[in-house]
């Protein structure tokens, strides 16, 4: 078994790269070929282009895939490109089942799938992609189970809920298949072999808090009442999370834990209505016992390390990671803490999903907030040396720990095991308390404000400027040819350059005047200058550019930055100023870099 990872920004680029893969396939002559396509494109006409390119480029391949919230390549996050995981099997035959259906057909289709699997005596694994928001997920998944078969079942739910998307593409769920694009239904890949070994591993890492609660009123996806009160009151009372536009973001670190078929599963709010009803994509049945949980970075890391050792002992030839997009949001820029430990395994790839599926004898479980790893081998596999026991420091934002403390204060009298709960919280507080207040506001690498905080400060500055009739200036800074630094000298050196440029930027800021600097993302920074016009801001920008140019970066030499400058005009919105500052930066890069452009 072998696996090739292909990334592309367009269907034309993919077409070119597939020619090389096809040549390898013709030489190696595998028994079967599987392409998993994880697309960051959601417009269906573009998806159709990729689908056709795959069918023409690799006509011998089984094709499956879906929209992606980010790809995982060699156990690290890859942004901005589509990922195509091409697996060659020497001893395994693949078959696919494609079903397009909607509400009312869940039971019929699940019965058909069960029958198809049961009649194939050498089935070793089943991979399932579904559009579960299009029909009754619980009825469909609960109806899929296999008689007297030890089969590994895994896959992904495809919701297509695209943050900040226009209405024309929001909730554009789709699944790729050999037959084309499925907008509502399921695609099943059946692995048939007498020498294929597939193991599935799950990592949660969220720990229960407080007393047990009961869902006292719910429908398919809507939890209306918990302990006979509006469901929202649990978050309001214990964690002081208001029912506002930030409700979902604030509850990411605090999902409910319950059980499906005697297995722990997490349920995270996808929305909270004005009535206080909590909508969960996976749903929680009425009468189900639940508890709140909190994301414990230290516990997650330990579970990840234990998982890695189990995978090493399995000796996989290929490794797939289906990681929940909510975990990515939880970790923010630290997601590599969760993924990185698997970078020693051969060809480790995957994507950030909207719901992870894995099968047990009683049915298929719809997971949320779950790290799911699938290891495969044909024959004996590949043996790796034991891993060193790295000490990984994991941290999280202060808001989470504050809410944990509030939870403990309000529920101490009703905790079933107060001492155990307090010891968990104390361990967290002891290891993180020194850095909490600072880290909640800053980017861990550069120590400048993180994006969330600098956006808030910019917003406040615009509000104040409007009230006072003054102005605001923004400076956008981008390190020139930064990718070459990482590619030539390594990411550690790249991080050093980011830190030193950040220090130079910070030295230009007078915090007494409410000036601020933040990391905007990657190698891009932003400087807020309240009260400045474009002339004054240009002087600051030019001084900053010159100091970077004259700075000697250890082991790298001299580097440069491109800088865009703009100041707010009367009647302009924040968005107008952001767009113009971004355009100024683009023009600085387009016209030769290492310069300041004012628009």
| Residue 75 zone, left/alpha/beta (φ > 0; ψ -120 to 50; rest) | left
Contact 368, 326 (CB under 8 A): yes
Examine the pLDDT at 151 and tell me if it is beyond 60.
yes
Q: Give the pLDDT mean for 476-488.
A: 93
Any idea which residue has 């409910």 for tokens?
Answer: 256
Examine the pLDDT at 96 and tell me if it is beyond 50.
yes
Question: What is the β-pairing status of strands 222-226 and 278-279?
Answer: antiparallel
> What does the pLDDT look like over 66-87, one tens digit per residue?
988 889 999 999 988 999 999 9
Handedness of CA 281, 287, 292, 296 (dihedral sign): negative
Q: Give the pLDDT mean for 488-514.
A: 92
pTM > 0.85: yes or no: no
Q: Assign 146 a pLDDT band (cuts: 50, 70, 90).
A: confident
Contact 177, 93 (CB under 8 A): no
Question: What pLDDT is stored for residue 422 in this prediction?
Answer: 53
Question: What pLDDT is stored for residue 375 in this prediction?
Answer: 96
Question: What pLDDT is stored for residue 345 in this prediction?
Answer: 93
Question: What pLDDT is stored for residue 489 in this prediction?
Answer: 92
Examine the pLDDT at 386 and tell me if it is beyond 60.
yes
Any idea which residue has 């107008």 for tokens?
Answer: 576
Question: What pLDDT is stored for residue 398 in this prediction?
Answer: 34
Question: What pLDDT is stored for residue 21 in this prediction?
Answer: 95
Question: What is the β-pairing status of strands 123-130 and 152-157?
Answer: parallel
Q: Give the pLDDT mean for 509-524.
A: 90
Helix (H) or strand (E) holding 115: helix 106-118
Catalytic residues: 523
> Which of 29, 188, 175, 180 is CA-nearest to residue 94?
188
Task: Give the sheet arrangement for strand 180-182, strand by strand.
Answer: 2-8, 82-89, 32-39, 62-67, 175-177, 180-182
Alpha carbon distance 485, 494 (integer Å): 6
Instruction: Tally the residues of the chain.
Output: 599
C-alpha to C-alpha distances, 273 to 212, 279, 403, nearest whole angstrom: 24, 8, 22
Alpha carbon distance 163, 64 (integer Å): 24
> What does the pLDDT look like over 189-227, one tens digit per residue?
999 999 999 999 999 988 887 788 999 999 888 999 999
Average pLDDT of the chain is: 87
> What does the pLDDT look like over 189-199, one tens digit per residue?
999 999 999 99
DSSP state of 449: B
Q: Give the pLDDT mean for 99-113.
A: 93
**36-45, 294-303, 376-385: lowest mean pLDDT where?**
294-303
Strand partners, 357: 155, 366
Alpha carbon distance 184, 130 (integer Å): 8
Question: What pLDDT is stored for residue 394 in this prediction?
Answer: 45
Helix (H) or strand (E) holding 459: helix 451-468
Q: Which two tokens stand for residue 414?
A: 């009703």
Q: Assign 413 a pLDDT band (cuts: 50, 70, 90).
A: very low
> Which of 215, 207, 228, 227 is CA-nearest to residue 289?
215
Question: What pLDDT is stored for residue 408 in this prediction?
Answer: 44
Q: Give the pLDDT mean for 405-415.
A: 47
Close Cβ partners of 28 (under 8 Å, ≥ 6 residues apart)? 2, 88
The fraction of the chain above a pLDDT of 90, given in percent, is 62
Question: What pLDDT is stored for residue 392 in this prediction?
Answer: 53
Q: Assign 170 a pLDDT band (cuts: 50, 70, 90).
A: very low
Q: Assign 428 a pLDDT band (cuts: 50, 70, 90).
A: low
Examine the pLDDT at 494 and tell me if it is beyond 60.
yes
Q: Which two tokens stand for residue 54?
A: 């795959």
More confident residue, 265 or 420: 265
> Which of 25, 99, 74, 84 is CA-nearest to residue 53?
84
Q: Give the pLDDT mean for 299-312.
A: 90
Q: Transcribe 353-405 into DSSP letters.
A: ES-EEEEETTEEEEESS-EEEEEEEETT----PPPP---------HHHHHHHH
- Give the distance, in angstroms, between the CA of residue 436 and the centroid of all CA atoms in the same chain: 23
> What does the pLDDT look like over 317-340, one tens digit per residue?
999 999 998 888 888 777 888 898
């Amino acid at each position: 078994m072998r696996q090739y990872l292909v990334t592309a920004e367009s269907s034309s680029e993919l077409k070119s790269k597939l020619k090389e893969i096809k040549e390898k396939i013709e030489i190696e002559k595998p028994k079967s070929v599987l392409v998993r396509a994880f697309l960051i494109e959601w417009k269906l006409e573009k998806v159709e282009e990729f689908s056709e390119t795959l069918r023409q480029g690799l006509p011998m391949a089984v094709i499956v895939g879906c929209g992606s919230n980010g790809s995982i390549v060699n156990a690290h996050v890859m942004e901005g490109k589509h990922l195509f995981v091409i697996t060659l099997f020497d001893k395994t035959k693949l078959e696919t089942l494609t079903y397009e259906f909607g509400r009312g057909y869940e039971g019929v289709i699940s019965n058909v799938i069960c029958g198809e699997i049961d009649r194939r005596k050498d089935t070793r694994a089943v991979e399932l992609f579904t559009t579960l928001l299009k029909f009754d997920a619980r009825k469909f998944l609960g109806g899929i189970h296999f008689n007297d078969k030890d089969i590994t079942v895994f896959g992904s739910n495809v919701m297509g809920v695209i943050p900040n998307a226009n209405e024309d593409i929001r909730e554009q769920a789709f699944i790729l298949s050999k037959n084309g694009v499925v907008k509502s239904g399921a695609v099943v890949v059946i692995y048939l072999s007498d020498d294929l070994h597939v193991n599935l591993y799950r990592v949660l890492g969220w720990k229960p808090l407080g007393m047990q609660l009961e869902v006292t009123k719910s429908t398919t996806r809507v939890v209306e009442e918990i302990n006979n009160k509006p469901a929202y009151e649990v978050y309001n009372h214990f964690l002081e999370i208001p029912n506002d536009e930030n409700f979902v973001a604030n509850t990411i670190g605090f999902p409910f834990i319950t059980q499906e078929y005697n297995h722990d599963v997490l349920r995270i709010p996808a929305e909270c209505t004005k009535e206080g009803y909590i909508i969960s994509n996976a749903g929680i049945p009425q009468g189900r016992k639940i508890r709140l949980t909190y994301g414990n970075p230290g516990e997650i890391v330990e579970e990840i390390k234990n998982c890695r050792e189990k995978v090493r002992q399995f000796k996989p030839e290929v490794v797939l990671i289906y990681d929940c997009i909510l975990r990515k949001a939880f970790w923010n820029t630290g997601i590599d803490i969760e993924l990185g430990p698997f970078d020693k395994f051969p060809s480790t790839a995957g994507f950030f999903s909207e719901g992870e599926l894995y099968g047990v004898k009683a049915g298929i479980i719809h997971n949320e907030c779950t790290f799911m790893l699938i290891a495969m081998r044909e024959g004996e596999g590949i043996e790796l040396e034991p891993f060193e026991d790295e000490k990984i420091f994991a941290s999280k934002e202060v808001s989470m720990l504050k809410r944990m403390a509030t939870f403990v204060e309000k529920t101490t009298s009703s905790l079933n095991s107060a001492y155990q709960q307090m010891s968990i919280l104390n361990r967290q507080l002891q290891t993180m308390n020194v850095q909490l207040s600072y880290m909640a506001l800053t980017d861990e690498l550069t120590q400048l404000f993180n994006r969330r905080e600098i956006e808030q400060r910019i917003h406040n500055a615009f509000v104040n400027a409007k009230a006072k009739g003054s102005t605001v200036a923004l400076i956008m800074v981008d390190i020139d040819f930064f990718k070459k630094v990482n590619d030539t000298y390594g990411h550690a050196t790249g991080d050093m350059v980011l830190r030193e440029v950040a220090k130079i930027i910070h030295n230009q800021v007078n915090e007494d005047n409410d000036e601020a600097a933040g990391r905007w993302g990657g190698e891009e920074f932003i400087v807020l200058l309240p009260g400045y016009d474009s002339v004054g801001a240009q002087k600051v920008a030019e001084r900053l550019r010159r100091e970077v140019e004259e700075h000697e970066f250890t082991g790298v030499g001299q580097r440069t930055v491109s800088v865009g400058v703009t100041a707010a005009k009367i009647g302009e919105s924040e968005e107008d100023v952001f767009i113009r500052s971004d355009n100024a930066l683009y023009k600085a890069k387009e016209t030769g870099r290492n310069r300041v452009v004012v628009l």
